[in-house]
Amino acid sequence: MVSNDDVDLLASLRYSNPCRVRSWSPIACCFASFVTIRALSTIDDMLTLSSIRRVPFAASLTLAAASAAPDSVREAPTPAPVTTIADSLRILYIGRPAGWEHYELTSRGDGMTLTSDYDFVDRGRRSHTQLTLTTGKDYALKTFQTVRITDTSRTVIASVEMDGARAKVTREGKVADVPVPPVAYAASSYVPTAQHLALIRYWESHGNPKTIAVVPGDPNPVTIKKRGVDTVGSGAKRVVLTRYTIDGVMWGINYLWLDGDGRLAMFATGGGAGLSFKTVRLALMPLRDELMQVATRAQMAELREITARTKPLAEGRLALVGATLVDATGAPAVPNATVVVDNGRIVAAGPSASTPVPAGARRIDVAGKTIIPGLWDSHAHLHQIEWIPTYFAAGVTSVRDMGSEWPLLVAMRKAIRSGTVTGSNLFFAGLVDGPGLQGFGEFSASTPEEGRAIVRRYHELGFEMIKIYMALAPEVMSAICDEAHKQGMRCTGHVPDSMDLHEAIDAGMDQIAHFPVRGDLTTDEGKKQLAHFVAKKTIFDPTASWGEIGGKSATEPMENIQPVLQHLPRPLLQDHVASLGRSPSDTATSHARLARTLANIKAAHDAGVPIIAGTDEGIPGYSVYRELELYVKAGFTPMEALRSATAVAAQAMRVDKDLGTIETGKRADLLVLDANPLENISNVRTVRFVMKDGRMFESAALWTVAGFKP
């Protein structure tokens, strides 16, 4: 019987026929075609999953060729030039097998040529990129080109011609003549993976320079480090891998492993504020679970190193004296207040005249400031470690992840709770979707029994919620919600394509992402919808800031939405942010569409439907502020907007006994602002100090550690 992940595999193999790529050699085509033929010929032997659907192909693709088995024990020497390397890599998209990369590195008389074909399916949409790169004998770059392929078009994404001290750079149709230093290269985002292999070889052959100037960019300084050796497998099939980090091509660190022959074994990326990808050489896929743990350990090592640079200004028994207190209970602000903290908890909060500073407490003068609870982002995707210091710097002390790779999530929360990493409180909604090409994420369910098993697995991992996704069948979705409730969990996420919003709520969804309502909620028909939401106690995280960015006219400057671009790391600005807000609509049309959405959010809020602030990533850290600004633009009071990211968010996660407001007995998670957000909600951007569990940090120093300009 063929499982649904097997269908994904065969479909991606079909889409990725390497013999259609003219730059491929006969050897590479033959190898990849043999993989395809073998997969098709063993279809009846493939395994199905009785509990949790994962990657059965590793067990079923048993190639007769010796090259398909893991390498024997080797040391990991510096890679040496070879005549030809031709490899196939499995693309894992948030843990889900989604496609293939086939690359070939060939020596020529005057240098090397690298060609790569990167082809995967994202929720039913094919994404296909090709790379051609040429170098000198020392891997010095000559030409670089990435191309986006569709059924009807071929579009150059980036092209570089390097000649001495100049580089001709073409990106998105714009041509620039860029001066470059002697140590320079080209790399564009994270796709295809093989470009990073060429970058590592250049770095090795040029004496491991401290930085490499990389275009497209200003150019951007890229740092490569050889971080150590990892091993997978055992006995005669033990494989030794050398681990590298690459920082600066995009926002965040990319990770790359080479085997003893200098061949690409695995690559891991968080997508530069996007989604997580890993590519694993086909021969190593039987060791996939071990490799995922290797990747998680590598990411955690870097995270510990980053957050070790953050030192609290104060901790222990503290008294913050003189600020205006906005406790987010809905009560009026308290001028000239004192908040006393001891052992990570709030022991007193109120007017300074009636709230004495205890003996032995350190008194901190915050006169003229405003104290509010720590903020929440209730719709995050922690696909890379850089989100942890970034959220913390922004004053977001609690984060709900809505679908990322579970090994990294679990490891990050464990490290934060143990104190080895400084970061926000983390809560998780485990992603589950249906089978086939439309599916998303690692875990797929095609039957109610499979859905229930996935819920139990997430519960064992400590997840508080389940995130429903769009390819689930109605009966499977209902079973998932039922099992989640039996386990004490709640369900949120997207409405499956096979259901409408109200059917999904009736089937058990407790919360809904992205506010997918239809029509005008102020009409009689709209009021019927609102009555249903209220009756079912449905909670929404509208991600209005993400909708605003996605629908922004390409003609409108991003600064109109987020006046913070000068603070962003250059790779984040040039890669991620530059890709946002490119709607062909004119500005008036975009604004009108946003206004309709905000009007419906306000109608729901007025009817008593809980609204919680979430961003779905957006511009890291800053989109939380924009979400609150949009709620006020919709008609919320500043207090109501603030509560959506504090008290109401904590209630939605059922942790309001500990978090969400500044009250005696609760955890000391709070912010000190330079200005009062009740006077202007944009003042929430003026974070001066961040306190979590009674440890107070300077926000500007946290931003610096996160790689931003305060």
- 665-681 tens-digit pLDDT: 999 999 999 999 999 99
At 218, is the pLDDT very low, low, confident or very high (cuts 50, 70, 90)?
Answer: confident
Q: Examine residue 360 and state whether it is found in any structural domain, yes or no.
A: yes
Q: Examine residue 367 and state whether it is found in any structural domain, yes or no.
A: yes
Residues 209 and 298 in one domain: yes
Residues 302 and 327 in one domain: no
Chosen domain end from 289, 307, 325? 307
State if pTM tops 0.85: yes
Summarised one tens digit per residue, pLDDT across range 229-258 is: 999 999 999 999 999 999 999 999 999 999
Domain count of the chain? 2
Average pLDDT over residues 363-370: 98
Average pLDDT over residues 256-285: 96
* Structure confidence at residue 686 (pLDDT): 98
At 215, is the pLDDT very low, low, confident or very high (cuts 50, 70, 90)?
Answer: very high
Average pLDDT over residues 556-562: 96
Summarised one tens digit per residue, pLDDT across range 487-546 is: 999 999 999 999 999 999 999 999 999 999 999 999 999 999 999 999 999 999 999 999
DSSP alpha helix (H) spans, 373-523: 387-393, 406-418, 448-460, 474-486, 501-506
Residue from 98, 102, 119 nearest 8 by CA: 98
Q: Examine residue 655 and state whether it is found in any structural domain, yes or no.
A: no
Residues 246 and 349 in one domain: no
Beta bridge partners of 91: 99, 279
* Structure confidence at residue 172 (pLDDT): 82
The CATH number that applies at residue 362 is: 2.30.40.10
Average pLDDT over residues 105-132: 96
In sequence order, what are the residues at sequence separation of 6 or more whose Cβ sits closer than 8 angstroms to the Cβ of residue 83?
106, 107
Residues 95 and 218 in one domain: yes
Q: Examine residue 386 and state whether it is found in any structural domain, yes or no.
A: no
Residue 66 phi, psi (nearest 5): -65, -30
Residues 349 and 263 in one domain: no
Residues 282 and 327 in one domain: no
At 14, is the pLDDT very low, low, confident or very high (cuts 50, 70, 90)?
Answer: very low
Q: Examine residue 491 and state whether it is found in any structural domain, yes or no.
A: no
Residues 303 and 368 in one domain: no
**How distant is the alpha carbon of residue 199 from its chain centre?**
24
Chosen domain end from 307, 331, 349? 307
Share the mean pLDDT of the chain: 90
Q: Examine residue 683 and state whether it is found in any structural domain, yes or no.
A: yes
Average pLDDT over residues 6-32: 37
Q: Examine residue 342 and state whether it is found in any structural domain, yes or no.
A: yes
Chosen domain end from 270, 289, 307? 307
Range of the domain at 344: 313-373+660-710
Summarised one tens digit per residue, pLDDT across range 679-708 is: 999 999 999 999 999 999 999 999 999 999
Share of the chain above pLDDT 70, in %: 88
Residues 65 and 37 in one domain: yes
DSSP alpha helix (H) spans, 211-260: none
Summarised one tens digit per residue, pLDDT across range 25-70 is: 333 343 333 333 333 332 223 222 222 333 332 332 222 232 333 3
The answer to whether residue 21 scores a pLDDT higher than 60 is: no
Residues 217 and 303 in one domain: yes
At 357, is the pLDDT very low, low, confident or very high (cuts 50, 70, 90)?
Answer: very high
Residues 200 and 278 in one domain: yes
Residue from 633, 635, 603 nearest 524 by CA: 603
The answer to whether residue 348 scores a pLDDT higher than 70 is: yes
Share of the chain above pLDDT 90, in %: 87
The number of residues in the chain equals: 710
How far apart CA 83 and CA 81 sit, in angstroms, is 7
Summarised one tens digit per residue, pLDDT across range 125-175 is: 999 999 999 999 999 999 999 999 999 999 999 999 999 899 999 998 899
Residues 215 and 347 in one domain: no
The answer to whether residue 582 scores a pLDDT higher than 90 is: yes
* Structure confidence at residue 639 (pLDDT): 98
State whether residue 178 is helix, strand or coil. Answer: strand
Q: Examine residue 596 and state whether it is found in any structural domain, yes or no.
A: no
Residues 82 and 193 in one domain: yes
